Each structure stands twice: as structure tokens, then as C-alpha cells.
A and B are shown apart, each in its own frame.
Chain A
Amino acid sequence: MPPFMIQGILTSSLSDGLIYAFVAVGVFITFRVLSFPDLTVDGSFVTGGSISAIMIAAGYNPFLATACAVFGGLACGAITGLLNTKLKLSALLAGILMMVSLYSVNLRIMSGANIPLLREITIFQSIAQFLGTSKNVFLVIGILAVLTFIVFMVLNWLLHTELGLALRASGDNEQMIRGLGSDTDKNTIVGCSLSNGLVGLSGALVAQNQGFCDVNMGIGMIVMGLAAVIIGEALLRPRGVASMLLAALVGTFVYRLFITIALRVGLAPGDLKLITAALVVVALAIPYIQKKLRHEWIPPAVKL
């Protein structure tokens, strides 16, 4: 393979990896920190994208539009959390209902199935103009790297605060933390909001980077996020909050690397869902097979 191709694969995996890492970190917060299997993601991703797209197309400041996308995502997560805690819908059902209803909401937000952003000023163009250059993949990687670093530091700090520790305890032992005086309903709502706010941010960045927002661009986002988290865990074996967050980032990059390579070797975009599923199976099976070979005790598979 010629060097320019390898470089192309690496840069595109890196920019995609950084942009989708927010989804992976969001999925990490619900699935791993809260033990709340939240499927809202497929919907809230597009909600973030469509809010930013409609605002940018209407001439609003792209940074304001992106901030509104984050709040849109937060609101989606809050509703999922409320459905679960106040109306006692199961986490899975609450997420599925939100995912489905957000499809309609997103069509309403965009007044259609997609919005082009090719001639609009996105945050990438805006920063490029400010720096006196034009949008290119290295600039995108630079911007995303800074943003990822900030989000990583904030989350690492947050999960070590008193509130963050209560969130982590909610996912670990709900009965105990309630017995210690923490409102577990509130914890669930806060955690789901935080998660979907990050997913909304990712949707907004994806729409601005690819130059359009499409109502179907969220399909499979939850599986991608899970794949990234699981691959990261298989590679890094993280212990502690910081390394778990790092694993989600690394997992997203590795996942995008596989996807980019799959496309370059000639597989069709339609094959990507199957590849994603296969990656998850492999990442989950390897630790199991390793344990089996060492004759270690293996817990039975979770039924739900």
C-alpha cells in the first residue's frame, strides 16, 4: 500500500474517531457508569445534527447552533430518564420509544429529510477563517482534538466529584446509594442527559463536518458507540475513570480504522453494519476465549 494511502486512512480514521468519540463516551456514561442501557442515542444524535443544521442554515452563529444542539441532546436524555424513573418504563423501552419518536421530531425540526450545509459557515469554516486558512482534514483533527481534550478533562473531573461518585454508585448499587441519601431518580436523569448531550454534540459536529444533516444518519449509532466502548475495553483493560474514558476514545479510533480499511479494500458501505456487529462479537469473544484457555471462572451471560 502506498504511503499516501496509509496516511489517508489514518487521518480519516483519526478525524472520524475524534468526532464519534463523543457518542462512545455518551454510551459509556449510560451503559457503564449508570448501568442504564439507553437506546435514545440513534435519535438524539440526529436531533443534535438537525438543530445545528437548521440554525446554521438560518444564519445563526455556528458555535451558538452547536451549543443549542448539546441542549437538545440533554433534553432528549432527560425525557428518557423521566420516563424510566417517574413512569417506571424499563430503560430499554424508554430508550426505544424516544428513539422512534425522535425520528418524527427530527423531521419536524428540519421540515424535511435533510439540510445541506455546504455553503454555510460551520464552526470548522469559522475557525479556518479566523486562522486565515481554509478547512482541511488537519485543521478538523486539530479542532476536534482540542474539543475532545476539554470534554475528557471535564468528565474526568466530574466523575470524581461528590455528584459524579453518586452517579457511579447509582450504576453499581442503587439500593445502597439510596440508603445513603442520594436521589437515584435524579442521578439517572442527570446521567442520561449528560450522555445524550454529548451524543447531540457529536451529531452537530458530524453534520457540520460532512456538510449536511440527514434524518437517517443516526441509524446504528448506538451499536457503533457500544462497539467503540467494548473494543476499547478489550484493548486497554481499563481500571479507574480516566482510563475508562481513554478506552472509549481509543476504541472509537480503532473502530473507525477498521471501517475505513474495510471501505478502502472495496467493501460496500452497506456492509459496514455487519462489520460493526462482527467487531463487537470478536471484541467480546477474545477475553472469554482467553479466560477459557486459562481455566478461569466465567460468569454466565447476562439475559437482559
Chain B
Amino acid sequence: MDTKEKDSLLQLRNVSKIFSRGTIDEVTALEDINLDVYPEDFITIIGSNGAGKSTLLNIIAGVFPPESGGKVIINQRDVTNLSEYKHAAYVGRVWQEPKVGTAGNLTIEENLSLALLRGKPRGLRQSLNKQRYTVFLSALAPLGLGLETRLSTPVSTLSGGQRQALSLVMATISKPALLLLDEHIATLDPRTAKTVLNLSDMIVRQEKMTTIMVTHNMELALRYGNRLIMMHKGKIILDIGQQDKQALAINDLVTAFEQAAGEQLTDESILLSHR
């Protein structure tokens, strides 16, 4: 246990989150979550609506702190009460909406320059220079989307898929400790979604990024990553490692869910991904 704690890159201890506390709308979004994420883990998180997936990512990203008593530790550093912009030094994130991860009125190179300085002080040096330019080129070229030839194009002129691919590069270019993929292909058309997902997998492997990917899709959760977590009503009900995961099929997941949650799986969006 002790050695494991030392090795883990992200530790969540007794993390709970209650919204609208003390009103009739009170919701327990997360209930006493304990989680260790190890270097180079690629975790897929699955769960129905309201399971707490997004709340979990928001707490890791520092959008809001957990209830008192909870702890978020990244790289041995307690970041529980640091504001969101300070979490950014450790956590790169790709959101569901491509527009959220990029600044449309700025050019591709300006967006990348902003991303390159993640967690660093921003001073009075010029934001674009030759050295950064080469970094941008080598980050964009592997995508195979031709973005490297359009560095001075405003991002608003890109398609949703191109923007999401750029978001992905922006989240990883400064190599943060942790990459959060928050249903990042959910709003893309199937073909683009596949492209972006493959690019994500490629970047995660090449950069050896420790990654948490939230998805609604059981098939994807099984196909990608080395560890699968299933959440339900604010709790982690399944945490499956690589070896067990390889042998798993969607039906096993459904059965496992029903055993762990003690109820029938009724969320259509998860069941639909059966096909």
C-alpha cells in the first residue's frame, strides 16, 4: 500500500461532492471516492447520466473543490484547494465541445502558443518565434490533417473535427502530468469521431500520457486503455485492470454492472452502444 501510494500520479482520497446542499434539489454527485492513477495508465470511465463522471473530472481539473475532508494529490502535491488555473499546470483537458478547447478568433499558431505556456508565467516576450514555430509544425504534422500548413488561419474557420484535433494537441503539447478526455468525441460525426479517437490513442501512446477518458460508449471503453472504471450514482462500482479487461465483452460489463449496482441497467445511451 505504502509503495503504491508513492508511485501513484493522482490520488483522490475521500472525495465527495454535494450540489445545492440544504435545498430540496440537494444531489450527491460524488460519494467518498478513493482512486489511485499510476503513471502511463490509460483509464476509460463509463457510467450512465448522473453517475458523477463529469463531476470527477471537474474536481481533478480544479473547477471546484471537493467537500471538506476530501483530498486531490497530483505528483505528490496536494492541489485540493488550488484554483482551476493552477491545476492547469498538471492537467490538460479536451472538452466535449470543440469550441470550448480552442479560441476561435485567434490563429492556430496563437492557440498553440497559449498551450505551450501551460502553467508557466506569461511575460513580455513575443508569443510567436521561430523556435516555437518548429515545435508547432512537429506537433501538427503527425495528425495528417494539413493543419501545419495553415498556422496563421483563424481557428473559427476549421471544422469541428479539426478543432477537436487541435484541442487534443493543445492539451498535450506541454506534456502535463495528466490528460483528461471528457467525452471528447461525443459531438463529432462517426467518421470524424473515429479519426479523433485514433489520434488521441496515438498521442497517448507516443507521449506516454497518463490519461483518463470519459465515454458513454461501452465498446470504446473496452477497446481503449489499460484500465476500466464504471461509475454509478457517485460511486466507483467497478475498477478493472488490463488483464481482466482484455477478456471482457460488453455483455460481461452489463452483468457486472447489474451485480454491482443491484439494479437493471436502463440507461439507453449505454445500451445502444451494444450494436
Query: Taking beta carbons and an 8 Å cutoff, which residues of A are in contact with B?
Result: 158, 160-166, 168-169, 172-173, 175-184
Contact = CB atoms under 8 A, between A and B. Distances in A.
Interface in B78-129: 83-86, 88-89, 93, 95, 99-106, 110, 113-115, 117-120, 122-128
A164 B105 CA distance: 14
B127 A177 contact: no
B61 interface: yes
A158 B83 CA distance: 26
26 contacts: A158-B124, A161-B124, A162-B117, A163-B123, A164-B127, A165-B106, A165-B113, A165-B122, A168-B103, A168-B106, A169-B110, A172-B106, A173-B100, A175-B95, A175-B100, A176-B103, A178-B85, A179-B61, A179-B88, A179-B101, A180-B115, A180-B170, A181-B86, A181-B88, A182-B122, A183-B85
A176 B127 CA distance: 17
A160 B128 contact: yes
A162 B104 contact: no
Q: Which 5 A-B pairs have the closest CB atoms?
A: A181-B88, A162-B122, A172-B103, A181-B119, A165-B127
A172 B104 contact: yes
Interface residues of B, number: 33
A177 B114 contact: yes
- Most chain B CB inside 10 Å of its own CB: which residue of A169, A178, A181: A181
A65 B54 CA distance: 54
A175 B113 CA distance: 16
Given A180-B117, A184-B85, A166 B101 contact: no
A165 B117 CA distance: 11
Interface of B is mostly: loop
A181 B103 contact: no
B250 to A, nearest CB: 33
Contacts, number: 86
A169 B84 contact: no
Interface of B: 61, 83-86, 88-89, 93, 95, 99-106, 110, 113-115, 117-120, 122-128, 170
A184 B63 CA distance: 13
Contact of A173 (B104, B120, B123): B104
A298 B106 CA distance: 21
A164 B128 CA distance: 12
A164 B125 CA distance: 10
Given A165-B113, A169-B106, A172-B106, A180 B124 contact: no
A177 B101 CA distance: 9
B124 A181 contact: no
A131 to B, nearest CB: 34
A8 B248 CA distance: 86
A233 to B, nearest CB: 14
A165 B129 CA distance: 13
Contact of A162 (B99, B105, B127): B127
